Amino acid sequence: LAAPRDDVVHLRTQQRNGRKSLTTVQWLSAAYNYAKILRDVKRELCCSGIVVEDEDLGNVVQLQGDHRKAIAAFLVKVGIVTKANVKIHGSNKITELVKRTKLKKRVDNKEFFRTEAQDNVKQLNNKHGGYIGKW
């Protein structure tokens, strides 16, 4: 096992599929009881999680969802690590950009279908003398 530098705990997120993601907590000291930490984190964040044994990284805590900041705050609050010894990897700007892009695509598609439907109603109104309700 490669030794971590200065006992820094690394928090990472991995994209699963779509909007689903995993948060991993790496390089926690082996002196801690991972099961108790996991239990308390799961209760605090209302999410599911598991402790995975990795050949290179040792024990890694995996949680469902992007909880990097909340886990960092929890670990500091409980006293497992100091704020200086927590490294949060990744950026929220990318996930916000992806969400905005998906939302814009949905809105654009909805507007496209709405204008197409409006055209159909106008054509029907012209055929039937205006008895069909307005859009």
| Whether residue 66 is found in the same domain as residue 113 | no
Q: Report pLDDT for 55.
A: 84
| Whether residue 95 is found in the same domain as residue 75 | no
| Whether residue 97 is found in the same domain as residue 40 | no
CATH of the domain at 55: 3.30.780.10
| Whether residue 56 is found in the same domain as residue 117 | no
Q: How many domains does the chain have?
A: 2
Within-domain flag for 135: no
| Whether residue 83 is found in the same domain as residue 97 | no
pTM of the complete model:
0.62
Which domain range does residue 109 map to? Answer: 91-128
Within-domain flag for 116: yes
Spatial separation of the C-alpha atoms in residues 3 and 91, rounded to whole Å: 26
| Whether residue 33 is found in the same domain as residue 83 | yes
What value, to the nearest 5°, has the Cα angle with vertex 72 and ends 69 and 73? 85
Element (H, E) at 30: none
Within-domain flag for 133: no
Per-10-residue mean pLDDT of the chain, 135 residues long, equals 63 88 88 89 92 87 92 91 89 55 52 53 58 49
Q: Report pLDDT for 73.
A: 92
